[in-house]
Amino acid sequence: MGFELECGSPAGVRCVELAEKHAAELAATADHYDRESSFPYPHWSQMQRSGLLAAPVPAELGGLGVTAVHDIVVAVNRLARGDAAVAIGAAMHLTSFWYFARLFAAPPSFDGPAFTARLRLLLRRCARGHVVSCVAISEHNTVLGRPNTVAEPVSGGYRVSGRKAFCTNSPVATLFLSLVRVDGGEGRQRLGFAVVPRETAGLTVVDNWDALGMRGSGSGEVVFDGCLLPAEMVVAAGEVGELPAGVLPLVTVAVTVLSAAFLGIAEQAQSLVTAALARRHATGSAVRTLVGDNEIDLAASRAVVGRVATLLDAALRPGAAPTDDELTGLMSEVQCASMAVKRAAVAVVDRALTASGGSGYLSANPLSRLYRDVRAGPFMQPFSALQAAEYIGRVRLGLPDAEMTPSASIPR
């Protein structure tokens, strides 16, 4: 693939080298973990030891010092070619620590030295391979902006109670980043974030992940049963039901990096089917057309995800202060890219399966796993496939922000 995504910074190049090394190891075991629906603990330990999971940590704190979103996009793209179930978990972890590193470089004015010291410790622990983050935000029977998980004020902090779903890489996570409803008293509630260490009393990781695809992702449920947290571990972020502008830098990056994983699935499907066709030494015009259509979709997908990653790096560069309107517009661009890449990825894998002549339908063929894994893309939040176009249209028409709508809810 001569025109694949590439990064230019020395730190990014090193990060991608590590991702490609891990991808080769992941590819050798991906079918096993998919078939067993088990979690690949050894690979996560290897990524911790190699330093890949500490890529966004500043070099002075022991990480690789990757600051560019584009570089993280490329690394996750490569990792997904080995095993997308691992790549989506790595994407969420890397995005979290990209954001922590961003806060460390420019701490919020309302926090101060104590906040910076906590971040420094967290980043150092990540660099030493002691931290894996899990993004625990989704819940059954509610929308993303209206969590049922509640952070109730108590003496010295908060008591967090609720149940989260689709908690990718939860089996190995040491830190859970959760969306909560913060009780502000007098009937007033706000949307907030809670950071819950794994050792917190009342936290339970439930081993109940059983899905069509991404079977090695460990995306089961996490229960918070009266977890007591210090006050600084819970932060109000905005109004319940809305997507606050303050969290858009994190959300836009997370969505873009995840998109790269689905591009990686599509690229791997194309690589597998073209290799198989080459071994046959003969292909009809219909098969050549399928392969050609895949190349068109892959070229467009690389262009759109590369462009939006570059836009993010420009808008979120150190010292930049994008307005709320600019962040909202950027979120719309990110959603356009995300939906374009995920739709194309589904189409590419489907054509690859068709071009395989039926062999790809067999469980022993990796194409059958890719066919199931790629279907996870449209369900990734925010926004779901049912919600994204409405949001994009609203932004383009200059209409007021809509609340997170019921179309994004996850039935139990």
- Give start and end residues of each alpha helix (H) in 159-227: none
Kindly list the distances between the CA atom of residue 274 and the CA atoms of 5, 136, 279, 324, 353, in Å, as whole numbers in the listed order. Answer: 19, 38, 9, 45, 11
Residue 153 lies in a domain: yes
Residue 4 lies in a domain: no
CA distance 45 to 361: 32
User: Which residues contact residue 347 at a Cβ distance below 8 angstroms, ignoring those fewer than 6 apart?
Assistant: 293, 297
Statement to judge: residues 108 and 166 lie in one domain: no
Two tokens, residue 274 = 């073209």
Two tokens, residue 105 = 């470089």
What's the CATH code of the domain at 225?
2.40.110.10
Average pLDDT score over residue span 196-217: 97
pLDDT tens digits along 105-119:
887 655 557 778 889
Q: At residue 234, does pLDDT exceed 60?
A: yes
Task: Out of 24-28, 90-94, 112-116, 282-286, pick the least confident.
Answer: 112-116
CA distance 131 to 231: 21
Residue 1 lies in a domain: no
Average pLDDT score over residue span 79-94: 98
Statement to judge: residues 98 and 212 lie in one domain: no
Of 145 and 332, the one with more pLDDT: 332
CA distance 158 to 245: 24
Average pLDDT score over residue span 140-165: 92
Asked whether the beta carbons of 263 and 347 are under 8 A apart, the reply is no
Percent of the chain with pLDDT over 70: 94
Statement to judge: residues 103 and 140 lie in one domain: no
What's the CATH code of the domain at 52?
1.10.540.10
CA distance 276 to 355: 10
Average pLDDT score over residue span 269-285: 89
Of 3 and 256, the one with more pLDDT: 256
Name the pTM for this structure. 0.93
Statement to judge: residues 109 and 63 lie in one domain: yes
pLDDT score of 369: 97
Residue 214 one-letter amino acid: M
CA distance 15 to 10: 9
Residue 20 lies in a domain: yes
pLDDT score of 403: 54
Statement to judge: residues 75 and 88 lie in one domain: yes
Average pLDDT score over residue span 374-394: 83
Q: At residue 396, does pLDDT exceed 60?
A: yes
Statement to judge: residues 276 and 182 lie in one domain: no
Statement to judge: residues 184 and 116 lie in one domain: no
CA distance 394 to 148: 27
- Number of structural domains in the chain: 3
- Give start and end residues of each alpha helix (H) in 164-247: none
Statement to judge: residues 400 and 261 lie in one domain: yes
Among residues 239, 271, 300, the one where a domain terminates is: 239
Q: At residue 412, does pLDDT exceed 60?
A: no
Residue 217 lies in a domain: yes
Residue 5 lies in a domain: no
Statement to judge: residues 313 and 199 lie in one domain: no
CA distance 338 to 252: 10
Statement to judge: residues 208 and 61 lie in one domain: no
pLDDT score of 402: 53
Residue 160 one-letter amino acid: V
Residue 378 lies in a domain: yes
Residue 405 binned pLDDT confidence (cut-offs 50, 70, 90): very low
Range of the domain at 105: 10-131
Average pLDDT score over residue span 47-53: 97
Statement to judge: residues 67 and 177 lie in one domain: no
The most distant pair of C-alpha atoms in the chain lies apart, rounded to whole Å, by: 74
Residue 157 lies in a domain: yes
Two tokens, residue 35 = 């078939």
Among residues 239, 256, 285, the one where a domain terminates is: 239
Of 75 and 103, the one with more pLDDT: 75
What's the CATH code of the domain at 391?
1.20.140.10
Among residues 182, 205, 239, the one where a domain terminates is: 239
Q: At residue 391, does pLDDT exceed 90?
A: no
Instruction: Output the average pLDDT for the chain.
Output: 91
Q: At residue 385, does pLDDT exceed 80?
A: no
Statement to judge: residues 228 and 322 lie in one domain: no
Whose CA is closest to 271, among 255, 291, 251?
291
